[in-house]
Structure 1
Amino acid sequence: MRENTAGPFGPVRAVTPGLVPETAFDAVQISPRHKSGIAMRFPRVQHIRWDLINPLI
């Protein structure tokens, strides 16, 4: 993870763009625990978007 980290923002890390997963989830709910204020319920990787991979990496 550290090799792909572009910058730390506290407990959150920004990573270099590369692989693009398409995420599916059952529901979204308000969450005081998460920085965004929302949480996905039962997230899972639906597809890997091979057509969106950055060719420069």
Structure 2
Amino acid sequence: MSCPICGEDTVTQVRPFCSKRCADIDLAKWLNGSYAVPSQREEGEETGVSETEDTVPGPH
């Protein structure tokens, strides 16, 4: 199996990556939005959550 980031052979401790560095690069891509899962929802379609349900009440 090869590392999805650089193509080198994988290492068991950080599988499916070859190093901690490549694992961190992959995590950073997820966190900054480079990877995304496509939505089945049409753009502009209602989410089903009303505006009142969307707000979090403050402390009493």
Aligning the two structures, in what range does the TM-score lie when normalised by the shorter sequence?
Answer: under 0.3
Instruction: Using structure 2 for the length normalisation, give the TM-score.
Output: 0.22
The structure number with the bigger radius of gyration is 2
TM-score after normalising by structure 1? 0.23
Higher relative contact order (CA 8 A, sep 6+): 1
Bigger proportion of residues as helix: 2
Determine which structure has the larger strand proportion and give its number: 1
